[in-house]
Structure 1
Amino acid sequence: MTLPYGFAKGKITSAPQLKPTQRPHEVQYHLHFGLDVGGAQWDVAVNVGTTDADDLLKYKLLFDFRHAMLQTLQADASGEQNLTGQHALPALDFQRSDFLANTGAWRNSDVMDGTDAVEPVATLQRLLLRAQQSGYDVYVYGRFYSEGNGVHDVHMNQGSKGEFIHRAGNDRNDHNDIWQDGALLVDVGAPQWALYVAAFDQQYLPTDDLGNPTADSKPIA
């Protein structure tokens, strides 16, 4: 079953806060902030890293991002755009589209230590504070909360193994999918846009039509 996916466009209403989530073998960290989405208050949870040195986050954080799709996003009114089941831009698929063409290499995140001094937390937090103070439009791609207004899984959502393998007819709330990758974009004033995307070391490409790693897949370079 395809999971609820899309993006929310709005303006930041609260300063980002770093929050931990305990997993079986690690602590994952997210930057949470409030977003006014067409008059409704949304919670946003952006993945920024983990304490597991064997499954660190890879990320790209650009301040000069350019893509033809940005004009489409800019024309949209503030609100929620449901892209569930769409297999073309403006839905995002890092493997099946040119969205990340010419964006350079992936960077390795620091091992998270619970502070906001590590990367990408420090730089991303400065960007979000600037967006809040300047009233910039913010676009958050990911999966929508099953209860309440919010968006999470703001990272690549394909290529994982183990419990995340997608099996046809599976209605679990967390599994691989194609055309469901997450991202954060900030319109910082024409022609500049900022972009943040992330994936975990233990996600693999290429993927099949369900978003699962193929037999010849390899970790993101």
Structure 2
Amino acid sequence: MLPSYGVVIGQSGSYSTEQGKWMHVVMNVEAAGVKYQAAVDVNEPNGLFQYQILNGLDHTLFAVDSKLKDGWHTLKSNASSGAMDYARSPILTKALKPTWINVTGNEAGEALVALLKSSTKVYVFGAPYTTGKGVHDIHCNQGDPPGQFRALDGIWQDGCVFILRSDGSLSAYLGKFSTQTLKTDGNGLPD
């Protein structure tokens, strides 16, 4: 499991695409006078990254407490906390398409930036930075094959970005590595 998990809520500020070991869209989130950085995965070195953009999501299924103020909120990894799970969250399972889009370049980053341009509020789910104010592991965090990331697998701890627009519509960006499966057991391990 991830050591910690939660959501930062605020307004999208500046953003850039950065190529490190993995490609990220690094976005700044303004939350009650505090700047948070969010490193959203959009590709990986072997080109084995996939994403989906979900539009027209049902607000009644968005489990984040509407009373939460802008800023960072730690969430328990369970169905009632507002945490996200690609395989279990009703707001996602009702909208997920059967086929993910395979990334060959920066298509996922461009799709995310297009969403951010029309946002009035963002909800960024993932793991907090160990130092500084920021969020990472903004991708699926379950269903890994044996290897270095399996120890981080768990349920109700997936990273994603939700975008609220001025017209009230709700969209989401979801990313995962093509080696991950959403057919997982109660521990987030491949079933």
Question: Which structure has the bigger radius of gyration?
Answer: 1
When normalised by structure 2's length, the TM-score is 0.87
AA in 2 matched with 1:111: T
CA distance in 2, matches of 1:203, 1:94: 11
CA contact (8 A) 2:26 2:37 kept: yes
The equivalences for 1:115-130 within 5 A come to 118-130=106-118
Counterpart selection for 1:140 from 124, 149, 161: 124
Give the Å deviation of 1:88.
3.1
2:138 is the counterpart of 1:157: no
Where structure 1 has 5 or more consecutive residues not aligned to the other structure, the ranges are 23-27, 113-117, 167-174, 215-221
- 2:8 is matched with 8
**RMSD of the alignment, in Å?**
2.1
User: Which one of 160, 166, 171 corresponds to residue 194 of structure 1?
Assistant: 171
Name the counterpart of 1:21.
20
1:46 alignment partner in structure 2 = 40
**Percent identity over the alignment?**
28
> Could you tell me which residue of structure 2 aligns to residue 105 of structure 1?
98
Q: 1:62 to 1:210 in 2, by over 3 A?
A: closer
Deviation digits for residues 52-101 of structure 1 (CA, Å, limit 9, x no counterpart): 14x2x221112322242437544421121111343435111122332313
Per-residue CA deviations over 1:128-149 (Å, capped at 9, x if unaligned) read 2333xxxx11100011111111
Alignment partners' CA distance in 2, 1:96 and 1:198 = 16
Question: How far apart are the structure 1 equivalents of 2:25 and 2:67?
Answer: 27
Provide the rounded CA distance (Å) in 1 between the counterparts of 2:115 and 2:56.
Answer: 13
- Cα gap change, 1:105/1:67 in structure 2, threshold over 3 Å: closer, same or farther? farther
Which whole-Å CA distance do the structure 2 matches of 1:94 and 1:62 have between them? 12
TM (norm. structure 1) is 0.77
**5+ residue gaps in structure 2?**
none
- Pairwise CA distance, 1:21: 1.9
Residue correspondences, number: 189
Which letter maps to 1:98? P
Q: Distance in 2 between matches of 1:47 and 1:189?
A: 25
4+ residue segments displaced more than 4 Å: none
Q: Secondary structure at the match of 1:120?
A: helix
